[in-house]
Structure 1
């Protein structure tokens, strides 16, 4: 098309629809678990609205991430990678607000978005901090599946950062509860809540470890992964899991992690 000539609206819409259809085909081919999220969501347009024509890999991970939130809300449970729905433990909203741990981390975009007062609901309610942990697990899982779609021009992308951040927040939340909030700590050790945290954490561990061999998959991921790997931070979570949290040490290598 000649420079300066605007494409008709119908042509733009057709081109957008065509590349969205192609992106969905790639998702189905490379990430059946990610495509299952598309199949499960009733509002298909909600999913496809996240997909543009120039960065299919990043847009598909975002579409899955946001659609997992949508599914979890509609099902009143955490929609897992294997398609099961994990019931949300009752009473999480009454526990100590996650914003209390914000000062333990440097004030980056994840802290500002998920822990600072007045930001996302995850700052006030553990229910939604766990919801973000689950969504970022799906996000990174799809990114790993779609790595063949990445281009050198993409540079370093922050796929690993989000999951590392949310895992660190959950670990610190448990540690802070054990040290200074007996009521919240007792609730975290109750059977239903313990099982929910354990299930979401184990799912996250597997996905994070699966990403370690992929270069340029993080920007500040090493900062959060180092926090997870520091055994001094994991005493409380160890009691909840019944074991030590796994350290994805290979993610700290110079070829797979950033600063």
Structure 2
């Protein structure tokens, strides 16, 4: 009986040691994550003033830092900027713009047809189609307002990633360009579908506020995309989506809304 008690005590002590040890490792890991944050924010301020402006605008800095992974600072910071733009958009009821200022959200577009209806125009297994256009996905699948929200957030995301490229880890590839390329293709296809088969939506898109917002966010996206074209290995699905944007004849509706032809980022395709 005494041996059993002794063995039981030893097992209990061993389990306690393992628990304490694993807890200590988790605490050390958490501390290490937090330790990287001050330098990461300094890097953001130094390399990406526009991304830093988003951090500064956040009232609750913990929300920003919660997205900041220390494993890949470039990815962590650009993701934190992206998600914080969503937060600021909700707070302000306006889209914060990459170069500063903002533009009011056109809530009337929420009554337009659901973006999920254009999903079949794209490769069905694509992660962006699955996450942003499938009916079971996020709000952008149900409401064009949130597709515009994603277009804006991915513009900030890529702008920060380009500015932070000196922090890029050479042992991995992160497809920073893919998200914005996908959102641009989705928006172009949405307005083209509206022109061809959704007269109520097409009429609504041509009204002053929706049109101005589309002009502003699209021009911003073009500028950010062009700024990334000199960086190689910055995407894996970008050429597919940008190829759709550059396809002759597919941008007629967008051309009407922009009062010009959408720009083809040819340098990103080379």
TM category, shorter: over 0.9
> Could you tell me whether the CA contact under 8 Å between 2:195 and 2:202 is conserved in 1?
yes
| Larger fraction in helix | 2
Unaligned regions of 5+ residues in structure 2, if any? Answer: 1-20
The SS at the match of 2:171 is: helix
Which residue number corresponds to residue 257 of structure 1? none
> Could you tell me whether the CA contact under 8 Å between 2:72 and 2:169 is conserved in 1?
no
The SS at the match of 2:131 is: helix
Unaligned regions of 5+ residues in structure 1, if any? Answer: 254-259
Q: 1:35 aligns with which of 48, 52, 55?
A: 52
Which residue number corresponds to residue 131 of structure 1? 149
Q: 1:119 aligns with which of 112, 137, 158?
A: 137
In the TM superposition, what are the counterparts of 1:1-259 in structure 2 within 5 Å? 7=24, 11-107=28-124, 108-154=126-172, 156-253=173-270
Structure 1 position 51, deviation (Å)? 1.4
**Matched length:** 249
Q: 1:8 to 1:223 in 2, by over 3 A?
A: closer
Structure 1 position 5, deviation (Å)? 8.2
- Deviation string for 1:88-113 (max 9, x for gaps)? 11311111111110000002010011
The SS at the match of 2:106 is: coil
Instruction: Find runs of 4+ consecutive structure 1 residues off by over 3 angstroms.
Output: 4-14
RMSD: 1.4
Structure 1 position 11, deviation (Å)? 4.2
Separation of aligned partners in 1, 2:140 and 2:110: 10
Separation of aligned partners in 2, 1:12 and 1:146: 24
Separation of aligned partners in 1, 2:24 and 2:71: 17
Structure 1 position 7, deviation (Å)? 4.4
TM-score relative to the length of structure 2: 0.89
Separation of aligned partners in 1, 2:165 and 2:49: 14
